[in-house]
Structure 1
Amino acid sequence: MTSDPDLSPDELAPGASAPASPPSGPASPGAQLRRAREDAHLTLEDFAAQTKLSVATLQALEADDFGALLEPVYVRGYYRKCARLLGLSEEGLIAAYNARVKQAQPQTPARIRLSAGSVESRSGLGRVLGLVIMAIIIGLLAYLWFMRSTTDPLAASTEVQRVPDVAITTTPAVTAMARPASEPEPEPTDAPAETTAPAAATSEPATGAATVAAADALARGGLTLNLQFRETSWVRINDAEGRALMNGLMNGGTAQTVKEGTPPLSVFFGNAPGVVLEFNGQPVDLGPYTQSNRTARLTLPLTN
């Protein structure tokens, strides 16, 4: 949608937004969305399915084609929904959008006068206009309430894609992960009864302990991956045979357990700080694998 360059600002339709000159500095909101979507390896079609927005709307957002979009109040809702899904800053994205558009001042309605010319018309037409304006305001408030309820938490109705025949169970969020009941207890050994270990053994990194425990469990044929989502995050887990053990958006306050798959496992999180991970009963620190955009990639079991 393009505007006639011969029209003055006063001739624009009420409520229409006029593009402002792009500022120099931070990337445009469209460029930020496109880069984050590509980093998450999502196509426009996949992203549209997750956000419930049309592909044409997403293309206009990524191209900063504000003229092809609806009123700014709806566009800001689109940006908030996309930012939460991709782990971007909502306020930063909205600020970049506000810096590139400005809201046109609505024109003052012309007064309706009687034939005498000095007194405003208070006839039935004026009352009808008042009722129409009130209905528009009520409808707008109802729409904003609906948008807020459907985007907080983001995409509450979004279905998580799962691959059949994979043992994934959903349990209520808990403050601590319990050791899976199905994991076999370690077999007793005939090691010497020496209980004194070198002091240096207490400083072994957590990742080393997780690696040893994972190796023991894998040697016994067991594999258990526990995930607790404190915040909403995209997650994708593939095994060595290329099977997708988990792929989708997980809401905050839920937990997942994966007990099948051929190691090593390839794991990706779209919002790593919001995820607590355990592999075969041992916690896995995601900090060393977390990037500046809050995503993380790692392979389980970990290697020293």
Structure 2
Amino acid sequence: MSDQDTQQEEAIQPVSPGAVLAQARNSQGLSIPEVAEHLKITESYVRAIEESTFDVLPQAAFVRGYIRNYARLVGLSGEDLVKDFDHFIGNDGLDTPRLQGSKKVKPLRAHSTPSPAHALALLLVVSLGGLSYYLWNNWLDAEPAAEVAIIEEVSEQLPEYLEAVENTPLETDLEVEATVVEERASSDPSVVVEQESEQVEERPEFPPIAVDSAEIVDVTADDDVKKTVLGLGKPLVIDFSQDCWVEIKDATGEVLVSAVQKAGSSISLDVFPPVSVRFGNTPGVQNIVYDGKPVARPNSSTRVASVLLTGNGQG
């Protein structure tokens, strides 16, 4: 082979960007650990770049970034070295031989198109998400409806019970009065006639009197219950750092709050223990203070959690 052919073969040899970077590093007195620390990569990556063993590195896009940062560190042109890298691995369409003493460089594969298995997995995830959303909404809608039905049933039965209790003493009084009338009748006939006439006149007035008494007792009982609830109420304050759905229900069975609270908002109200609090986004809960005492924030992997607050604090 002539000297001219040898010079032509050397001219078409691809330039190794790793060798150029290694030479520049040595000229500046930098070590491989120092370069790795500056580039925020491992020492094995730095050696792979300098030795042009690109098959042990990540995809080409990452390697180009490493080369640019390395070139900037040693004062070289990153774009020129990236072009040398593309030419070296054969991405420019030329059939270039590998450097002597280096490993065979395999062209880095680009992202493959999604396979049917990936599409099936994506469809399964979407289906599970839709099913979870459907069950969550139906469960939330069904439970408040059941609570309303129970409250209405108790409200309907309470007046009947109070009326029965109030009517019992009145019937006893009537029986006692009838007994007295019978005893007087046996001793004094004139008294019997007088008592019978009075009973005939007074009997039509009994039903309205009984109804009025029951109504008065109902109002008094309601006032006593309200005073008791207000006396035992405890302050509850909740702050939110993110949008979060919350539902608060105390011992009265009434749903006090059931809505999405915006980030930066807070809830402050008096509740009657025990209190059930449910959250739809636990990371969005910033602070919980119950009866002047902080309560530990809920922590759940599903982002949905419930907290029970009793009279002594968190249950």
TM over 0.5: no
TM-score, reference length from structure 2:
0.31
Relative contact order higher in (CA < 8 Å, ≥ 6 apart): 1
Structure with more helix by fraction: 2
TM-score (norm 1): 0.32
